Amino acid sequence: MNATKTVRLWDFPVRLFHWSLVIAIVTSWWTNQELMIDIHALAGYCVLALVLFRIAWGFVGSSNARFSNFLTGPRKVFGYLMKLPTGGVTELTYPGHNPAGGWMVAVLIVLVAVQAISGLFASEDTFLFFDGPLVAYASSDIARTMNFIHHTNINLIYIAVGLHVFAALFYLVVKRENLIRAMVTGMHHVPESIAAGFMQIRFASPVLGIAILVVCGLAVWALVAVARGG
């Protein structure tokens, strides 16, 4: 059996982003009915702040968190997918998102962003009497369209998250590669033969990450406060 080495894979801001996003999405989903619309909106604002943070981190974060690192051309994606049925762990293990997973990450981020943004314009006027903070600034046509998007896009999120979790479990069970633990602890166990690739990752300062996250949180809070106050 190949000797393995423990290497650092994901920085703290990426992990904080991921699990906070999961909690915020599940909370918005859980609270969309009943009389918990305020919590629903609050969790949605958190999603928005997290997405803004992740976009910034995709440009200034650790090397393997950058979009330029994991959004690759169709040739690489196709080549990777062709290797998937036969390739062993060594061949398929990347010091970041793999070429197909990278695009899935982009899809997930766009879908949750669309959900949170459309929520700002969504309204419910039969029993909750709740208007998203930007409803007052939109024409009724735009508000109606956004409401429609908010109710439809959630189905795409179900599908994308379903595929995403399925892929993580597929790696765990079939490929015997625990990507989930790596997303929790930041550390990954890889064959010694490919450990050098992981040593190349340049980690950005976690303090910078937290600072950007706080700024994104404040920006969303300010947007909502000004929109509600105005």
Residue 97 is a binding residue for ligand HEM (CB under 6 A): yes
Stretch that binds ligand HEM, among 72-80, 85-93, 113-121, 189-197 (CB under 6 A): 113-121
Residue 122 is a binding residue for ligand HEM (CB under 6 A): yes
Q: Distances in Å between the alpha carbon of 84 and those of 98, 107, 175, 192, 225? A: 11, 20, 10, 21, 48
- Taking the alpha carbons at both ends of the chain, their separation in whole angstroms is 66
Residue 32 is a binding residue for ligand HEM (CB under 6 A): yes
Residue 124 is a binding residue for ligand HEM (CB under 6 A): yes
- Token pair of 29 as six digits: 């989903």
Residue 105 is a binding residue for ligand HEM (CB under 6 A): yes
Q: Among residues 11, 44, 50, 62, which is the contact residue for ligand HEM, using CB under 6 A? A: 44
Residue 22 is a binding residue for ligand HEM (CB under 6 A): yes
Residue 180 is a binding residue for ligand HEM (CB under 6 A): yes
- Which residue lies nearer to ligand HEM by CB, 156 or 183? 183
Q: Among residues 5, 66, 164, 189, which is the contact residue for ligand HEM, using CB under 6 A? A: 164
Please answer whether residues 227 and 136 qualify as being in contact, where contact means their C-beta atoms are separated by less than 8 angstroms: yes
The amino acid sitting at 32 is N
Stretch that binds ligand HEM, among 74-82, 102-110, 200-208, 211-219 (CB under 6 A): 102-110
**Phi and psi at residue 190, in whole multiples of 5°?**
-130, 155
- Token pair of 56 as six digits: 């910034």
d(CA 101, CA 168): 10
Please answer whether residues 63 and 202 qualify as being in contact, where contact means their C-beta atoms are separated by less than 8 angstroms: yes
Site residues (CB under 6 A) for ligand HEM, limited to 200-219: none
Q: Among residues 35, 82, 142, 165, which is the contact residue for ligand HEM, using CB under 6 A? A: 165
d(CA 187, CA 101): 18
Q: Nearest approach, Cβ of 35 to ligand HEM (angstroms)?
A: 11
Residue 49 is a binding residue for ligand HEM (CB under 6 A): no
- Which residue lies nearer to ligand HEM by CB, 8 or 18? 18
d(CA 172, CA 20): 22
Classify each residue of 203-224 as buried b or exposed e, where b means 16 or more C-beta atoms within 10 Å of its C-beta. bbebeebeebbeebbeebeebb
Residue 7 is a binding residue for ligand HEM (CB under 6 A): no
Hey, how many other C-beta atoms are within 10 angstroms of the C-beta on 59? 10
Please give the residue ranges that form the binding site for ligand HEM (CB under 6 A): 14, 17-18, 21-22, 25, 28-29, 32, 40-41, 44-45, 47, 54, 65, 97, 101, 105, 108-109, 112, 115-116, 119-120, 122-124, 130, 132-133, 150-151, 154, 161, 164-165, 168, 179-180, 183
